Amino acid sequence: MNILGFFQRLGRALQLPIAVLPVAALLLRFGQPDLLNMPFIAQAGGSIFDNLALVFAIGVASSWSKDSAGAAALAGAVGYFVMTKAMVTINPEINMGVLAGIITGLVGGAVYNRWSGIKLPDFLSFFGGKRFVPIATGFFCLVLAAIFGYVWPPVQHGIHAGGEWIVSAGALGSGIFGFINRLLIPTGLHQVLNTIAWFQIGEFTNAAGTVFHGDINRFYAGDGTAGMFMSGFFPIMMFGLPGAALAMYFAAPKERRPMVGGMLLSVAITAFLTGVTEPLEFLFMFLAPLLYLLHAILTGISLFVA
């Protein structure tokens, strides 16, 4: 597997844990005092964000395994607990965020694909097969903890500095993010970029002293400066792309409009209601690449303005 193929597969694996977030966000929002004023609903949604790295570890491990196995998901969770606890013993300031979950999820999925059918000697046969996967994952993640315990602190400093630059760049940084995000959709790498921006960049400490990283986490924690990597997408999802679908409908020959109308209507509604734009974007990104480039530029402008 080449580098591009790896990141394309990673982008697909990230879609499973990311799919959980809309439900968590709705629960967290509806439970707030200005809406339903039901704290237990808000806490239910907040629990997902509080354990986001673990969600990524489980989701990525399951998606990366060859048959979406539960043993791989368990291995991802075991690896996450081992690596994160061991790392902070070496350096208490280490905070890898969801990257720790992604890495341990990849390890869990890879170990499952490689050794889920392993045969051990008779006296160890109980630990053979799929039962071997969480054990081996824990060992590998312990080794990774020893490595990242010393390697990650300067990387963490660099990420923080880069994040601070993008945040300090304000509208320009947001616009660059939006432009690159759309260009990466054909390769699937936009999921990786989204993960870094939404769950890693920026830092906010609430009144209780809890530290939140990433645009989404900081936004729901009450950071007034968060949202710069999200708000500009809404005009595109809700109006820009549905408008493009309408334009494609009228650009089609009249005799073909009934056939394409239903498809365009469904993908436009999907973009408007759920924010899932890929079905609509894939309709024209390869047929009209210059138009898609214009779409990426307009997305960057939208995030720049918003």
Task: Provide mean pLDDT across the span 4-33.
Answer: 80
Is 213 strand, coil or helix?
strand
pLDDT tens track for 139-196: 999 999 999 999 988 887 776 676 667 767 778 888 988 998 898 887 666 777 788 8
Residues shown for the chain = 306
Instruction: Give 286's contacts (C-beta < 8 A, 6+ positions apart).
Output: 186
Q: Which of 142, 131, 125, 13 is nearest to 75 (CA)?
A: 131
Q: Which two tokens stand for residue 104?
A: 């341990």
> Which pLDDT value is given to residue 115?
93
Instruction: Give 209's contacts (C-beta < 8 A, 6+ positions apart).
Output: none
What percent of the chain clears pLDDT 70, i.e. is strictly above it?
A: 96
214: Cα within 13 Å, side-chain hemisphere: 20
> Which pLDDT value is given to residue 278?
80
Q: What is the pTM of this model?
A: 0.69
> Which pLDDT value is given to residue 159?
67
**CA pair distance 195, 262, nearest whole angstrom:** 33
pLDDT surpassing 90 at residue 76: yes
pLDDT surpassing 80 at residue 1: no
CA torsion sign, 10 to 236 to 269 to 24? positive
Weakest mean pLDDT among 24-28, 123-127, 141-145: 24-28
**CA pair distance 156, 282, nearest whole angstrom:** 35
Q: Which two tokens stand for residue 6?
A: 């790896």
> Which pLDDT value is given to residue 106?
95
Q: Which two tokens stand for residue 191?
A: 């999921």
CA 96 from chain centre, in angstroms, equals: 14
CB burial readout 166-204, b (16+ within 10 A) else e: bbeeeeebbbebbbbbbbbbbebbbbbbbbbbbbbbbbb
